[in-house]
Amino acid sequence: MRLSTNLRTGLAAVIGLGLGIGALPAAAQHHRGKDRRENAIEAHKDRRNIRDDKRDLAVIRDIEQSWSLAVKRRDKVAERVADQRLHDWLASEMRENDRELADARKEAAHSDSRRDRRDDQRDAAKAWRDNSETRKVARDLRQLQRVFNSNRATPDDYRRKARLLKKLVKMAKQEIREDKKEIKEDRRERREDRRDRRR
């Protein structure tokens, strides 16, 4: 049976509309699944960050205490051991900070939504600040260490080095506070996402 052009066009529109309506829930479901995966990845990243930062705090706190005790006891061998541990820790921290900064900038450049872009830009700015601050303290310690290595360190030099070590401990504590704040914000955003999906 031959159908008129108008009838064929009308049927095609109805069939197309029916397919479109059926496709909407599938598309929404796919989007929800993507959101869930992204939220799970974000939650895993948050847990890993706070675990790494707690470990960093434990290490730098132990180095600072070991160095202070060695100085108090006038134990030059223990002082040099603490210095070497500090050198290794700072090198590792700066490599890690460089990686985090590169990752944060990459994420900010490929953000899908306005909120993701804002969060990623905030993370990139924070990574840049952390990197800059760590490098500044590392540079000051490196310059100061030359004086210690030449056995010309004065009481003022010891006090300055002690202050820089305490600053590293303070920075590590601040990092954990910021991690906890970010985790709170991420959880709030995930709750909002779940509420939006239920609407």
83 CB neighbour count, 10 Å cutoff: 19
Q: Taking residues 6-25, what's their average pLDDT?
A: 49
Indicate the pTM of the whole model: 0.73
Please name the amino acid found at residue 47.
Answer: R
Per residue in 52-95, pLDDT (tens digit) is 999 999 999 999 999 999 999 999 999 999 999 999 999 999 99
The helix/strand/coil state of 111 is coil
Q: 134 near 90, Cβ under 8 Å?
A: yes
Instruction: Please report the pLDDT score of residue 187 as a whole number.
Output: 79
DSSP string over 99-110: HHHHHHHHHHHT
Q: What is the pLDDT of residues 20-34, one digit of tens each?
A: 444 546 655 655 666
Q: Could you report the per-residue pLDDT of 93-136, keeping only the tens digit for each?
A: 999 888 888 888 887 777 777 767 777 778 788 888 888 999 99
The Cβ of residue 53 has, within 10 Å, a number of other Cβ atoms equal to 19
Which pLDDT value is given to residue 14?
44
Reply yes or no on whether the pLDDT at 185 is more than 50. Answer: yes
In contact, 48 and 41? CB cutoff 8 Å = no
Q: Which amino acid is located at 45 in the chain?
A: K
**Phi and psi at residue 154, to the nearest 5°:** -100, 170
Number of neighbouring beta carbons within 10 Å of residue 69: 13
Q: Could you give the residue ranges of the DSSP H alpha helices within the chain? A: 5-73, 76-109, 114-149, 155-198
Report which secondary-structure segment, H or E, holds 74. Answer: none
Given a cut of 50, whether residue 156 has pLDDT beyond it is yes
| pLDDT score of 15 more than 50 | no
Q: At residue 19, does pLDDT exceed 50?
A: no
